[in-house]
Amino acid sequence: MASPADDKPRICVGVIAGAHGVHGEARVRAFTDDPFDVAAYGEVETEDGSLRFSMTVIREAKPGVLVVALEGITLSREQVQAMNGTQLYVSRDALPAPEDEDEFYYADLIGLAASYPDGRPLGTVLAVADYGAGDMVDIKLAHSSKTIVVPFTREVVPSVDLKAGRIVVNPPGGLIDDAPEGEVDASAAKGAGAVMTDPTDSTAQTAQTAQTAPASDPPSPWQATILTLFPDMFPGPLGFSLAGRALDQQIWALNTLNIRDFATDKHHSVDDTPAGGGAGMVMRADVVGAALESLGYQGSAKGETAEKAPNPASISAGEKAPNSLPLNAPLLYLSPRGKPLSQSRVKALATGPGVTVLCGRFEGLDERVITHFGIEEVSIGDYVLSGGEPAALVLLDAVIRLLPGVLGAPETLAEESFEDGLLEYPHFTRPAQWQGKPIPDVLTSGHHGRIAEWRQAERERITKERRPDLWRRYMAEEQSGKDE
Ligand code: ADE
């Protein structure tokens, strides 16, 4: 992205993640390979170039997040807090050249012309993003408004010539259809497609990183494996919009197993009456156990508890399941009795290789399956659904939107509900007046500082009113920040 000041390319090395203490120190999430390097390239500037300062790292608060002192500028705690979410840029020239000839700064790749190996023009590089298992290149096609996303591997991108401003791309078979414009799958057009065809958004997305992008093996998709009695319920709503497009692009993959296929009696029974009596039916341990074992989950030895065979260590890391699923995917059972699903659990799942989800039906699952395999029980809320499938769809939706490349403008994630413990501020858009109601003046003032302050105040007000539990936790964390 070009600096408004001197029009030279810049790289975003980090983003302000809140105020720290009372002396105008800040928490900064670093995008550099080594987080401590966030302060190593001299002065940083804000996106609009209106503020410039240096930083001294005081300590690492948590992995990738540093407490820094701002040098050459005096800001109050409130002013730093109002800068939450502000991206910090350094000049591209301040960064060292990549050490390896196979390594590139994302920023250097953006805007390059992409052509087929035979020289025909393919399009322009919009963005490069790390999809968790490797780097992917977003290319805006030359003769269409569509974009494609290809793995940044030697096989698919055999040549990068920065001097000539060109990359050669060998798109994987079937990726580029010749469907005329307007005949694109509606879900793709409605979803991230609209954003991804916008070069501004896509550029912002990947100009954020100072990490180098080594050519590597094709990334594996994030793998969702669902054990269910109703496999036809999947992908269901996840076949549309953002998740549907990401499924088409193999950012994530879906594998459903019909639990009934593992029943052994002639009636294919999967349930039986509860031991000790009572209403309803219980899912049988032998049937569900066989389904899990078919995926390579082994469970604990006889008599051991889940602690001795914790999830997911009950499977040797790195091993491949018989059906080639990543065996170190966490194994979850969706049930109203589970631990409430949180945004932090969702984020952790998004950074892993995938998830295996067991969907219950009837009164529930024989408890021995849960302890034997050390299964993590998760609830999506304090209400009872007729089965785990809708809950699995909710969980997957929450995770998939966080996978790299799914959202067109991932910087919006920094401001949404539950980030830093607060609910999101209210949004407005045109028309300026609707039903006699105007947009709040501050939002049309163009004053970024005041807008940020107003939004922060609104986040606090809404959280305090609607979620006293979150508000108490937020206040306690703020207080401990001041005490440090
Ligand atoms: N299955 C039934 N109700 C559920 C809930 N609230 N959360 C997760 N799974 C469920």
Residue 161 pLDDT exceeds 60: yes
pLDDT at 144: 64
pLDDT at 251: 96
Q: How far apart are CA 62 and CA 77, in angstroms?
A: 20
Q: How far apart are CA 358 and CA 392, in angstroms?
A: 8
pLDDT at 79: 84
pLDDT at 370: 97
List pLDDT tens digits, range 67-83: 999 998 888 888 887 88
**Ordered alpha helix ranges (H), 278-414:** 285-294, 343-350, 367-373, 388-400
Task: Write the residue with the smallest CA distance to atom 2 of ligand 1.
Answer: 385
310-330 in b/e form (b: 16+ CB < 10 A) is ebbebbeeeeebeeebbbbbb
Task: Write the residue with the smallest CA distance to atom 7 of ligand 1.
Answer: 379
pLDDT at 180: 37
Banded pLDDT at 208 (limits 50, 70, 90): very low
Q: Which of 226, 227, 335, 377 to mutate to test the pocket of ligand 1 (most atoms within 8 A of CB)?
A: 335
Residue 1 pLDDT exceeds 50: no
How far is the centre of ligand 1, averaged over its atoms, from the C-alpha of 228 (Å)? 14
Q: Which atom of ligand 1 is nearest to the CA of 360?
A: 1
pLDDT at 75: 87
How far is the centre of ligand 1, averaged over its atoms, from the C-alpha of 361 (Å)? 10
Q: Kind and range of the H or E element at 59?
A: strand 52-62
Residue 276 pLDDT exceeds 80: yes
Q: CA distances (Å), 441 to each of 343, 432, 434, in order?
A: 32, 10, 14
Task: Write the residue with the smallest CA distance to atom 9 of ligand 1.
Answer: 335
How far is the centre of ligand 1, averaged over its atoms, from the C-alpha of 53 (Å)? 50
List pLDDT tens digits, range 301-339: 654 443 323 343 233 334 455 554 556 799 999 999 999
Supply the mean pLDDT for the chain: 82
What residue segments make up the domains of the chain, in order of their start?
A: 10-94, 106-206, 222-400, 416-483
Class of domain 10-94: mainly beta
Residue 203 pLDDT exceeds 50: no
Task: Write the residue with the smallest CA distance to atom 5 of ligand 1.
Answer: 336
pLDDT at 181: 36
User: What is the mean pLDDT of the segment spanning 341-369?
Assistant: 96
Q: Kind and range of the H or E element at 15?
A: strand 10-20
Using DSSP, state whether 37 is helix, strand or coil: helix
- Which of the residue ranges 49-58, 144-153, 206-215 would you say has the lowest mean pLDDT? 206-215
User: What is the mean pLDDT of the segment spanning 52-80?
Assistant: 88
Question: Residue 440 CB: number of other CB atoms within 10 A?
Answer: 13
Of the candidates 349, 343, 307, the one whose C-alpha atom is nearest the C-alpha of residue 328 is 349
State CA 58 to chain mean position distance: 28
Residue 3 pLDDT exceeds 90: no
- Between residues 387 and 6, the one the model is more confident about: 387
Banded pLDDT at 211 (limits 50, 70, 90): very low
Banded pLDDT at 130 (limits 50, 70, 90): low
- Which of the residue ranges 163-167, 175-179, 253-257, 339-343 would you say has the lowest mean pLDDT? 175-179
Residue 84 pLDDT exceeds 80: no
How far is the centre of ligand 1, averaged over its atoms, from the C-alpha of 340 (Å)? 10
Banded pLDDT at 50 (limits 50, 70, 90): confident
How far is the centre of ligand 1, averaged over its atoms, from the C-alpha of 366 (Å)? 16
Q: How far apart are CA 52 and CA 44, in angstroms?
A: 6
| Residue 165: exposure state from Cβ atoms within 10 A (0-12, 13-18, ≥19) | exposed
Q: Which atom of ligand 1 is nearest to the CA of 378?
A: 8
How far is the centre of ligand 1, averaged over its atoms, from the C-alpha of 474 (Å)? 28
Residue 44 pLDDT exceeds 80: yes
Terminal C-alpha separation, the chain: 37
pLDDT at 262: 97
Beta-ladder partners of 87:
15
pLDDT at 428: 97
pTM above 0.95, yes or no: no
User: What is the mean pLDDT of the segment spanning 415-421?
Assistant: 83
pLDDT at 322: 52
Beta-ladder partners of 90:
11
pLDDT at 34: 84
Q: Which atom of ligand 1 is nearest to the CA of 388?
A: 1
Q: Which of 359, 385, 397 to mutate to test the pocket of ligand 1 (most atoms within 8 A of CB)?
A: 385
Residue 422 pLDDT exceeds 80: yes
290, 322 in Cβ contact below 8 A? no
- Which of the residue ranges 15-19, 104-108, 385-389 would you say has the lowest mean pLDDT? 104-108
DSSP state of 212: B
176-209 in b/e form (b: 16+ CB < 10 A) is beeeeeeebeebbbebbbebbbbbebbbbbbbbb
Give the CA-trace dihedral at 363, 361, 397, 194, to 10 degrees: -140
How far is the centre of ligand 1, averaged over its atoms, from the C-alpha of 2 (Å)? 48
Percent of the chain past pLDDT 70, that is, above it, reads 81
Q: Which atom of ligand 1 is nearest to the CA of 384?
A: 3
pLDDT at 379: 98
Q: Which CATH number fits domain 106-206: 2.30.30.240, 2.40.30.260, 3.65.10.10, 3.30.70.270?
A: 2.30.30.240
Banded pLDDT at 162 (limits 50, 70, 90): confident
How far is the centre of ligand 1, averaged over its atoms, from the C-alpha of 68 (Å)? 43
Beta-ladder partners of 27:
18, 67
Task: Write the residue with the smallest CA distance to atom 6 of ligand 1.
Answer: 336
pLDDT at 134: 63
| Domain 222-400 identical in fold to domain 416-483 | no
Q: Which of 334, 370, 393, 396 to mutate to test the pocket of ligand 1 (most atoms within 8 A of CB)?
A: 334
Task: Write the residue with the smallest CA distance to atom 10 of ligand 1.
Answer: 335
CATH 3.10.129.10 corresponds to the domain 222-400: no
- Which of the residue ranges 9-18, 195-204, 230-239, 457-466 would you say has the lowest mean pLDDT? 195-204
How far is the centre of ligand 1, averaged over its atoms, from the C-alpha of 272 (Å)? 20
- Between residues 185 and 291, the one the model is more confident about: 291
Within 6 A (CB) of ligand 1 lie 334-336, 379-381, 383-385, 388, 391
How far is the centre of ligand 1, averaged over its atoms, from the C-alpha of 362 (Å)? 12
Handedness of CA 108, 110, 116, 120 (dihedral sign): negative
Banded pLDDT at 443 (limits 50, 70, 90): very high
How far is the centre of ligand 1, averaged over its atoms, from the C-alpha of 229 (Å)? 15
Banded pLDDT at 172 (limits 50, 70, 90): confident
User: What is the mean pLDDT of the segment spanning 402-421?
Assistant: 83
How far is the centre of ligand 1, averaged over its atoms, from the C-alpha of 401 (Å)? 21
Class of domain 416-483: mainly alpha
Percent of the chain past pLDDT 90, that is, above it, reads 48
pLDDT at 47: 83
